């Protein structure tokens, strides 16, 4: 639908978004450990760390040799797995552009809680919709969807640079870009969508993000920020003013 590039929305309460950086690093490290090894090891990681509704609801039992963490932990671990570099890159780009300002509004610890809770909510709704599914759910999309929803509630008027349809650069306010993105997730969820994308997971993350940002934000953080944020202009120092020459009486020529 679109690729976010930049939002020009500076941090106001924290100096560095190190939780956002840490989450991106963790996702990259897990991808390198699980996605670049042998195909057998990758499959084992997907089944051992991915969220499988039928396993979580005790409909089926995962073979013991594939069990890596307790099944309840897969509500979180699935969100650090990605199928390929494009899957990883897309999710991390959204987190890079929007995560820092949500972390700024919530604070470091509460943002980490927020992110993980959105991931859990995404998996929970995915499992509720299809409790018999034996297909592992992987990807950070549920958590990212929560971040997008929170950003929209916090900064609807910030102008975001995007690539529309992957090729057309546009600068559009968040209340248009992100609202359309969120609406698209709900429409696809209601319509059934594609089998390879869990729209339920996205919707679960959006709902959790919209609620949790209201609860976890710092007290001094306003909602629906009315300020239009654009890239900072270069400030040119004006030269000091030159004092005007005081007018002198015109000389009188001739005799007095």
- Over residues 149-171, the pLDDT tens digits come to 999 999 999 999 999 877 789 99
Classified as helix, coil or strand, 68 is coil
- C-alpha distances in Å from residue 192, one per residue of 140, 186, 215: 20, 10, 31
Amino acid 230: pLDDT = 53
Q: Backbone phi, then psi, for 140, in 5-degree steps? A: -90, 10
- Assess whether pLDDT exceeds 90 at residue 198: yes
Q: How many CB atoms lie within 10 A of CB 3?
A: 17
Amino acid 29: pLDDT = 96
For 64, counting Cβ atoms within 10 Å of its Cβ (0-12 exposed, 13-18 middle, 19+ buried), the class is exposed
Name which residue leads in pLDDT, 195 or 208: 208
For 188, counting Cβ atoms within 10 Å of its Cβ (0-12 exposed, 13-18 middle, 19+ buried), the class is middle
Name which residue leads in pLDDT, 131 or 166: 131
Amino acid 249: pLDDT = 44
Name which residue leads in pLDDT, 193 or 149: 149
The pTM score is 0.86
Tell which residue, 111, 85, 90, has the closest CA to residue 216: 111
DSSP per-residue string spanning 86-140? HHHHHHHHHHHHHHHHHHHHH-HHHHHHHHHHHHHHHHHHHHHH-TT--SPB-SS
- Assess whether pLDDT exceeds 80 at residue 250: no
DSSP bridge pairs for 159:
173
* Alpha helix stretches (DSSP H) within the chain: 18-35, 39-49, 53-56, 74-77, 85-106, 108-129, 141-154, 174-191, 199-216
Class of the domain covering 2-216? mainly alpha
The pLDDT > 70 percentage for the chain reads: 87
């Amino acid at each position: 639908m679109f690729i976010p590039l930049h939002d020009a929305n500076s941090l106001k309460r924290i100096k560095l978004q190190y939780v956002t950086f840490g989450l991106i690093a963790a996702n990259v490290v897990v991808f390198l450990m699980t996605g670049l090894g042998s195909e057998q090891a990758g499959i084992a990681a997907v089944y051992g760390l991915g969220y499988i509704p039928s396993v979580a609801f005790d409909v089926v039992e995962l073979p013991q040799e594939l069990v890596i963490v307790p099944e309840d932990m897969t509500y979180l671990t699935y969100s650090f797995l990605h199928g390929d570099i494009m899957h990883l890159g897309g999710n991390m780009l959204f987190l890079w552009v929007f995560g820092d300002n949500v972390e700024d509004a919530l604070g470091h610890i509460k943002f980490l809680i927020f992110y993980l809770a959105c991931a859990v909510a995404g998996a929970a709704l995915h499992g509720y919709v299809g409790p018999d599914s034996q297909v592992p759910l992987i990807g950070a999309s549920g958590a990212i969807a929560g971040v997008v929803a929170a950003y929209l509630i916090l900064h609807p008027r910030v102008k975001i640079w995007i690539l529309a349809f992957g090729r057309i650069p546009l600068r559009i306010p968040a209340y248009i870009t992100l609202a359309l993105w969120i609406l698209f997730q709900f429409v696809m969820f209601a319509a059934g969508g594609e089998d390879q994308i869990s729209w339920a997971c996205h919707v679960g993350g959006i709902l959790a993000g919209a609620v949790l940002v209201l609860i976890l934000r710092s007290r001094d953080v306003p909602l629906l920020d009315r300020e239009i944020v654009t890239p900072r202009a270069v400030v040119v120092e004006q030269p000091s003013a030159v004092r005007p020459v005081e007018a002198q009486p015109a000389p009188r020529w001739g005799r007095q």
